[in-house]
Structure 1
Amino acid sequence: MGAKSIDSHILKDSKLIKDSSYLDSINHIESKTPQNSVFDEPATPKNTIDNTIESADDFSIDFNEYSMLTPINTQVINRFNEETISAFSIPTEYIATLEKEERLIAFDTRKWQYLSRKFDNGYEFIPILRKMLFDADIPQEFLFLAMAESEFDARALSVKKAAGIWQFMPATARELGLKINDYIDERADPIKSTAAAIRYLQYLYNATGKWYLAAMAYNCGLGRLNRAIKEAGSDNVEVLLDEEAQYLPLETRDYLRKIISMSLAFSNAHELKQMDKEYMLNRGAADSIVVVSVKSGNSLKNIAKGANMSVDSLKNYNRHFKYDFVPLGSGDYQVYLPYEKLSYFKQHFKDVVEVTSLQATYIVKKGDTLSSIARKNNTSVDKLKSLNKLKSNNLSINQKLLIPLKPINIITKNKYAKSKTATKKK
């Protein structure tokens, strides 16, 4: 699972994507040279990733007091649109087939109970995620792509090292402008990772012309999807998901069905009302978060105190921080809070950083010495011995050492980001 790097060329002439089927377009593919980047495919300016959506960093604007209470078009936000099928460009006949084969979610099963609990896992961020999808003209049903990927667990980590709600691999995440370093992993940042996912989904849609193809490519990779379409001789959803032909991996076939099934289930007003879960239809109408700026290096304990909430609760909103403080560096840093805490935070938060108190934990590995550990962490042997109350230089494997941290400038190169001054989101 997770976003895959694109590994074959897409069509240079983007007109074919609109004027004929995606199958016609990929038949023009000549080169199958592996690509090193999710964006390396040649494309016209209309199809380039920078022209589909702004970079992930553009979503890290000063959101102060930005919340789901901001006036928006509520036609789609307040309800899961009943036109789920048309959003994915899927024939209604195919849905009828799924229902006949009992592949849709039944409401009287343990599976539904399990999925409804997982849907509740994302209650803090579902509102803003839905609004971001809406603003980017991406079908709301793609919220369930995130649920299929991670069950809304921002800390989800696959055996292949894909992480976060949208399950990005490290290389893909960095290509999309997300930061991964000693202090932070923005794949676990629900808002910034969603901005990156939007960017990637827009790219896949521009490459394929259909949302269900974009969803498939998100799971198995655009190159793998291209090969499946060429082998099948069609980009029709029923053909591609054929169980006997197996044009696509089983994981991908089940993946799209799961997204469709969850979309239909969570937009079924009649059934949800019967089960006293009508609130799920309105998830996003009232819940909200805000983003506040604090000095880099601020402890989560200090921020939590200023917001009158527990550290654990604050961590729940900021799962991308690796330590109990915001990343070290120059300038301010953004932290997520529940909207109802904003007023208290403004009155009581003291933006004070005690850099000397910042420490990291290091686990001793085979071959480590105090000298080598000190060099790696820009400190001295004497400071390490003093901080850890060591009487000698002897170490043992798996021994835990406290490491004093110093402010550093954290710079992440993003060749796809646009340089411009960010403004407050309207």
Structure 2
Amino acid sequence: MKYILLFFSLLTSPSLFSNSFEFPSTIENAEGVTLELFDDPVPGNEETIHYIEGDKNLWERIQNGFAIKDIDNRRVKNYIKWYQSRPEYVERMVERSSRYLFHVVEEVEKRNMPMEIALLPMIESAYNPVAKSRQKAVGVWQFIPSTGKLFGLEQDWWRDKRRNIIDSTNAALDYLEQLHNLFGSWELALAAYNAGEGRVKRAILRNKKRKKPTDYYSLRLPKETKNYVPKLLAVKKIIQDPERFQLYIKDIPDKPYFQVVNVPDEMDTHIAAELADIPYEEFQLLNAEHNRPLMKAHFGAQDILLPVDSVDTFLKNLEDHKDPLTNWITYTPIKGEKVNHVAKKFNIDIKELIKINQLRSNQTLKNKIILIPASPDVLKKYPINTDNLYSYSTIITHKIKPGDTLGGIARKYKISIKDLMEFNELKSTKIIVGKYIDIPQ
């Protein structure tokens, strides 16, 4: 998705995929990240964790809608092996997807599209709504800015609709439908979603001139795009039979997780979470489009998403709430005003002002909106954390070699030891030669 521009992709294509293709020891995933592969069975997964069957299980509904032809080639097998070696990663991905998957399934079903499409965010972003790639693709569907705008996904100082699960899903399905109508094949539509329509068109024309087949598996496409459909089919196979691959896929109820709720035109994200009586992180995951702690509608009221079982609590608490719904004021600096002037004017620490508004130190604030705490207590009660929640859409896999240390690996990939340990769920800095460690990017 990172390179798509509807009807304007002008990129080139590398090597041809054929039956004689020899799979390398490393592959590149759908986000363009090098993944090392294993020749031996994955160690440490000897105990089979059984899939929990529910009376109304969303996974059953998803499997009943699968329609893309299965393949069983080496690319698919190697991606299965990659996921097998990361059971915690799979569990986190499925856990995140549980908030959004019912909605996506409903929309895919309405359009009579293959249900594999509902799994596409798993290979695009691991169903992370705040995922951002190095190509500036954002959200579970990984729209780049230009394609997002082309499909009506608003992006401004206040919000980024590429992170809105409802709007971005509609946009992604619209785009995929257009590509399917153009190419007549879901495999080719997926390839174009990943690499761009122009690149796939040129690959088809090249094969036609040479009187070669023009299906997805016969085209000369970039490595990332050749791996794209196999990676999706690997996820599909895991969903169909997680027990076979010694992975745990949690049961997801076949019912809505969230509900759309209308709220006033200005409201704090923290206050909304408190009124709903849900953790702030949960509110952020459902309302990831908001860039600021203050939600501000352009015209009239606005909508938020809340867990279905929290809506009544929210509405009752909102009705009873007599205090202001916002702890922030907006300020438009006068011409030539700098960060330190504004900090002094409102008696706020300059570091906090920079952090809240993501400014550069003492820059001139031309045509800027500045968010100011309404009182000194605001930042004490609601500390601002500008770090995204699990905001990694790409992962590099590093094989530990003799002489490697965790600190050395952290320095090489420009990540803190703490974050590296947390991401890999390590209890100590000791590492074992020959094992693999994942580095979020």
Q: TM-score range, shorter-chain basis?
A: 0.5 to 0.7
Match of 2:313 in 1: 344
User: How far apart are residue 107 of structure 1 and its match?
Assistant: 9.2
Measure how far apart 1:390 and its partner are.
9.3
- Counterpart of 2:308, as a letter, is Y
Of 125, 150, 160, the match for 1:185: 160
Match of 1:148 among 123, 127, 151: 123
* Identity across matched positions, percent: 23
TM-score (normalizing by structure 2): 0.62
Structure with the bigger percentage of helix: 1
Q: Which moved more, 1:131-140 or 1:254-263?
A: 131-140
**Match status 1:235 vs 2:214:** yes
Q: Contact conserved, 1:129 with 1:143, CA < 8 A, in 2? A: yes
* 2:58–2:253 contact (8 Å) kept in structure 1: no
Indicate conservation of the 8 Å contact 1:105/1:111, yes or no. no
**Structure 1 length as normaliser, TM-score?**
0.64
Alignment of 1:77-226 (within 5 A): 78-81=60-63, 84=66, 87-88=67-68, 90=69, 95-98=71-74, 102-103=77-78, 105-106=80-81, 109-226=84-201
**Aligned-partner Cα distance in 1 for 2:218–2:162:** 34
Residues 153 and 167, structure 2, Cα contact 8 Å, conserved in 1: yes
Equivalent of residue 372 in structure 1, options 315, 330, 336:
336
Gaps of 5+ in 1: 10-73, 241-246, 363-368, 406-426
Q: 1:359 to 1:271 in 2, by over 3 A?
A: farther
Quote the Cα distance in structure 1 between the aligned partners of 2:88 and 2:348.
52
Counterpart residue number, 1:358 = 328
Rounded to whole Å, the distance in 1 between the matches of 2:349 and 2:315 is: 43
Give the SS at the match of 1:337.
strand
Q: How well do the aligned residues superpose, as a CA RMSD in angstroms?
A: 3.7
1:342-421 superposed matches below 5 A? 342-350=311-319, 354=324, 357-359=327-329, 371-373=335-337, 385-388=344-347, 398-399=361-362, 403-404=370-371
**Corresponding residue for residue 289 of structure 2:** 320
**Cα separation, partners in 2 of 1:3 and 1:166, compared to 1, 3 Å:** farther
Measured after TM superposition, the shift of residue 287 of structure 1 is: 5.3
1:98 CA drift (Å)? 4.0
Alpha-carbon deviation of 1:190? Answer: 1.4
- Once the 2 structures are TM-superposed, how far is the Cα of residue 195 of structure 1 from its aligned partner? 0.8
The gaps in structure 2 that reach 5 residues or longer are: 10-55, 373-441
Instruction: Report the secondary structure of 1:266's partner residue.
Output: helix
Counterpart in 1 of 2:43?
none
Contact between 2:271 and 2:325, CA under 8 Å: does it hold in 1? no
Partner of residue 264 from structure 1, selected from 234, 237, 262: 237
Maintained 8 Å contact 2:65/2:115: no
C-alpha contact (below 8 Å) 1:5/1:172 kept by paired residues = yes
Letter in structure 1 aligned against 2:328: L
Q: Is the Cα contact below 8 Å between 2:271 and 2:326 reproduced in 1?
A: no
Equivalence for 1:298: 267
Helix, strand or coil: the match of 1:80?
A: helix
Alpha-carbon contact 1:204-1:218 (below 8 Å) kept: yes
1:115 deviates by 2.8
Of 187-196 and 300-309, the range deviating more from structure 2: 300-309
Report deviation, 1:279: 3.5
Q: Distance in 2 between matches of 1:104 and 1:355?
A: 48
